[in-house]
Amino acid sequence: MIRFGVIGYGYWGPNIVRNLHGLDSTCVTMISDKNPAALARARKAYSSIELVSDPMEIVRSTNVDAVAVITPVWTHYELAKAALENGKHVFVEKPFTSSVAQAEELIEIAARKNLKIMVDHTFLFTGAVSKIKELIDSGVLGDLYYYDSLRVNLGLFQHDVSVIWDLAPHDLSIMDHLIKRDPEAIVATGEMHLDGVEDVAYITVYFPDRIIAHINVNWLSPVKMRTTLVGGQKKMLVWNDLVADEKVRVYDKGVDITSGEGLRDILVSYRTGDMWAPQVPQVEALRVELDYFAKCLMEGNTPFNDGMAGLRIVRMLEAADRSIRKRGELVHL
Ligand SMILES: NC(=O)c1ccc[n+]([C@@H]2O[C@H](COP(=O)([O-])OP(=O)(O)OC[C@H]3O[C@@H](n4cnc5c(N)ncnc54)[C@H](O)[C@@H]3O)[C@@H](O)[C@H]2O)c1
């Protein structure tokens, strides 16, 4: 059983603690939060777990094998570094770090000390993303054309990061997982209306083989929407994460262009076949993810959502920031 110390018991931390507490492969021995009100909530929920305000007590404890860093983005590097330097494996929230340089340093420390890093790219463990990956990898969609995602809602405003660093890591990590190629370039545009960070943004990512991705992230939307289109040469799908049934619908639709003898003999034919909704497993993604991490640690395997995966996302986030500062200039990766 892997013994976890959890740092950060704000909005997301309780979900991590609940899942780690409920799994057979893991337990939580310590929780740290510098906010006494957060610790009081933890005390009410888990009377037997040791609670401390100083996270250094967790990273130095002999009663902890792995540290979960569930704090604001700007603290990830410092806390994960302290954990690694004290010989602890690290589970760290998305986005991995605030910069590429920080991510590279953490990866180097972990490699040197033979420790594992896992970045919480939760969506990769959802039934919907597993199903979409299966459809792509088995060739059902055919060659990929595009990934197009709408991830908008009103708030929750973060003060330390923009809407890009808050919401786009979800789509960037899903794209990274599904497309499996290194992006070539990024264009991003956005605006700050309220708080000195972008609250509305549009990101375009160019991949090899003419695969293009677009992400629309927005904290100023009157309604919450989570809709993603994935288009392939053979089939296209729509994933609506907010519905209980038929989250993923696959459409046998497409366009074929054939050219005849002469220049004007281009024939465009539209294919409209069936729509079907594959069975999407109903799982709590965090539970699956944390169990997978514990198994990786016990068997000495590197998780696929490791520090390198975290770094690839941070690299795209940094590029998006550079592009935004230049009002949408193309940034090569
Ligand atoms: N994977 C997901 O779907 C998902 C969802 C929400 C948030 N997150 C991520 O989780 C992280 C935390 O987000 P949140 O919404 O829970 O934030 P939050 O502000 O609600 O909670 C953070 C908690 O960390 C505590 N904290 C901060 N610095 C600390 C330190 N040095 N030592 C001890 N405690 C400290 C704060 O007191 C607070 O209680 C962020 O990185 C965010 O991106 C991920």
pLDDT per position as a tens digit, 32-41: 999 999 999 9
Q: How confident is the model at residue 263 (pLDDT cuts 50, 70, 90)?
A: low
Q: What is the pLDDT of residue 134?
A: 97
Q: Give the model's confidence band at 188: pLDDT under 50 very low, under 70 low, under 90 confident, else very high.
A: very high
Q: What does the pLDDT read at residue 258?
A: 81
Ligand 1 first shell, C-beta below 6 A: 7-13, 32-35, 38, 55, 70-73, 75, 93-94, 120, 122
Q: Whose CA is nearest to atom 28 of ligand 1?
A: 71
Protein residue whose Cα sits closest to atom 34 of ligand 1: 33
Residue nearest to atom 33 of ligand 1 (CA): 33
Above 80 in pLDDT, residue 48?
Answer: yes
* Segment among 67-76, 95-104, 159-168, 308-317 with least mean pLDDT: 159-168
Mean pLDDT of 163-189: 97
What does the pLDDT read at residue 172?
A: 98
Which of ligand 1's atoms lies nearest the C-alpha of 121?
A: 1
Distance 95 CA to ligand 1 centre (A): 11
| Cα 206 to averaged position of ligand 1 atoms, centre (Å) | 31
How far is the C-alpha of 166 from the C-alpha of 192, rounded, in Å? 14
pTM of the model: 0.96
Give, for ligand 1, the residue of 70, 97, 124, 241 to mutate: max count of ligand atoms closer than 8 Å to Cβ. Answer: 70
- Mean pLDDT confidence for 88-92: 98
* Axis crossing angle, helix 100-112 with helix 73-85, rounded to the nearest 10: 20
Residues contacting 263, CB < 8 A, separation 6+: none
List C-alpha distances in Å: 333 to 121, 201, 265, 322, 330. Answer: 21, 19, 40, 11, 10
Give the pLDDT mean for 245-266: 84
CA distance 223 to 69: 30
CA 14 – ligand 1 centroid, Å: 10
Nearest CA residue ID for atom 15, ligand 1: 11
Q: What is the rounded average pLDDT of the residues 121-143?
A: 97
pLDDT band at 156 (very low <50, low <70, confident <90, very high): confident
| Start-to-end Cα distance in the chain | 40
Task: Considering only residues 54 and 159, tell me which one the structure prediction assigns the higher pLDDT.
Answer: 54
Testing ligand 1's pocket by substitution, the residue of 6, 7, 9, 11 carrying the most ligand atoms inside 8 A of its CB is 11
Radius of gyration (Cα) for the chain, nearest Å?
21
Share of the chain above pLDDT 90, in %: 90
pLDDT in tens, 195-247: 889 999 999 999 999 999 999 999 999 999 999 999 999 999 999 999 999 99
How many angstroms is it from 203 CA to the middle of ligand 1?
Answer: 25
- Grouping H, G, I as helix, E, B as strand and the rest as coil, residue 43 is helix
